[in-house]
Amino acid sequence: MATTDIAPAPSGAGTAPTSQVLRHTGRPPGQSGSGVARAIRYTLLLIFGLFVLLPAYVLIVTSLKRSGDVTADTAWSLPTAITGAGWAHAWSQLAPPLLRSLILGIGAATLSSILGSMNGFVFARWRFPMATTVFTLFLFGMFIPYQAVMIPLQGMLLSVEGQVPWFQGIVKLIIVHTIFGIPICTLIFRNYYATAVPKEMLEAARIDGAGMLKTYRSIILPLSMPAFVVTLIWQFTSAWNDFLFALFLTTRQNGPVTYALNELAGGQNPDYPSIMAGVLLASLPTLLVYILLGRYFIGGLMSGSVK
C-alpha cells in the first residue's frame, strides 16, 4: 500500500523494484473493456507515445545528416546521405568531459550511498533521542533550492582551491554531490531497512552480544544490495545530469559533460548534426542505465525524486 512518505513510496520501494510494484494483477492484459474502448485506448497510447518520441527522432535523424543538408525545408526528413561526421565532431569535443562525468557519477554515487546506508540503518533500527527531528532536518536538505547555498558555497570552495590546487573541477563536484545526496540516500535506505530487516533479527543479535558495528556489518550490509542498486543508480543519474553546480563551481576546462554540451550547443553558427549527436552522447549513459536497469531506476523514482 502506498504510504505518504516523502514521495509516495509503495512500502519497501527501492527493494521491490517496479516489476513488482507496477505489475498488473487483474485480468490478462488486453482483455478488459469492449472492442471499441480497447481500440480507443491503444490509439491514444500510440499517439502520446509518438509525441513523447518526437525529440528522439529529431536527435537521431539530425545527428546523421551532413551539416549542409540541415536546411529548414528538410528539417523533419530522413537524411539523404548518412554520415558520422557530426558524431565524430561531438565526440572530439565531449570525450574528456564525458570521462570526467563518469568519474563524478561513480564517485559521488558511491560515497553518498555508503553514508546513506549507515544513516538509514541508524534512523530505522538504532535510533537515538531526537532521531526523528534530525531525520526531518536531513530531509529538508533534499528540497532546498541550491541557489540558497550557492553564493557562500562558491566562495568557500574557491578559498579551499586557493590553498589546495587539486581541489577543483570534478573533485569539488564529487564532494558537493555526495553531501547534497545524503538526504535522499538516507531516506531510501531508512525506508528499505524499516521493511526489509525484521526487528526480531536485531534483537537476537543484541542478545548474542553483538555491538552496533558488528550488527551493521554482519546482518545489515549483506541485506543491503537492493537498496544500494537504487541509490547508486539514482545518485549517478542526478550527478551526471546536474548543470547548476557545474555552472557555478567548474569551468570549461574541468567541468562535466553538461557544461561542455551547453558550450557546444551555444555557439554562434550552430552545427546541428554535431550538436544533436552531442546531446545523444551526453544522454547515452543515463539512458543505458535506464534501459538496462530500468526497474531499479523506477524504484529510485518511487522513493522520492526531487532533484
Partner 1 sequence: MSRAKSWLPGLLLVSPSIVLIAVFVYGLIGQNIWVSLNTSVNPVTDKVVNPGGYQNYTQLLGSADYQHALWNLLVLTVVFMVGTMFFGLLWAVLLEKGVNGEGVFRSVYLYPMAVSFIAAGVVWRWLLSPATGDGAVGLNQLLNKMGLPQLENSWWSADSKFSMAAMAIPAVWQLSGYVMALFLAGFRGISEDQREAARIDGASEWQIYRHVLFPQLSPIALSALIILGHMSMKMFDLIYSIAGPNSYKASVPATLMWTQMFAQNDRVAAAVNATILLAIVAVVVVPYLIYTNKTETERD
3 state SS for 91-142: HHHHHHHHHHHHHHHHHHHHHHHHHHHHHHHHHHHCCCCCHHHHHHHHHHHH
23 vs 35, beta carbon nearer partner 1: 23
C-beta separation of 85 from 67 below 8 A = yes
- The least distance separating partner 1 from the CB of residue 173, rounded to whole angstroms, comes to 14
- The least distance separating partner 1 from the CB of residue 223, rounded to whole angstroms, comes to 17
For the record, the C-alpha cell of 287 comes out as 539512458
188 vs 261, beta carbon nearer partner 1: 261
101 vs 168, beta carbon nearer partner 1: 101
For the record, the C-alpha cell of 191 comes out as 525506508
10 forms bridges with which residues in the sheet? 2
For the record, the C-alpha cell of 89 comes out as 565532431
- The least distance separating partner 1 from the CB of residue 89, rounded to whole angstroms, comes to 15
- The least distance separating partner 1 from the CB of residue 82, rounded to whole angstroms, comes to 20
168 vs 184, beta carbon nearer partner 1: 184
- The least distance separating partner 1 from the CB of residue 254, rounded to whole angstroms, comes to 17
- The least distance separating partner 1 from the CB of residue 18, rounded to whole angstroms, comes to 8
What is the total residue count of the chain? 307
Residue 297 amino acid letter: F
169 vs 234, beta carbon nearer partner 1: 234
The Cα-based distances of 161 to 119, 155, 168, 231, 285 in angstroms read: 29, 10, 6, 29, 30
**CA 32, CA 39: separation in Å to the nearest integer?**
11
- The least distance separating partner 1 from the CB of residue 122, rounded to whole angstroms, comes to 4
For the record, the C-alpha cell of 7 comes out as 514521495
- The least distance separating partner 1 from the CB of residue 165, rounded to whole angstroms, comes to 22
112 vs 254, beta carbon nearer partner 1: 112
85 vs 114, beta carbon nearer partner 1: 114
- First vs last Cα of the chain: how many Å apart? 25
**CA 208, CA 269: separation in Å to the nearest integer?**
71
Per-residue burial over 258-273, b if 16 or more Cβ lie within 10 Å, else e, is bbbbbebbeeeeebbb
Residues near 227 by beta carbon (within 8 Å), at least 6 away in sequence:
14, 15, 117, 120, 188, 189, 192, 193, 196
152 vs 165, beta carbon nearer partner 1: 152
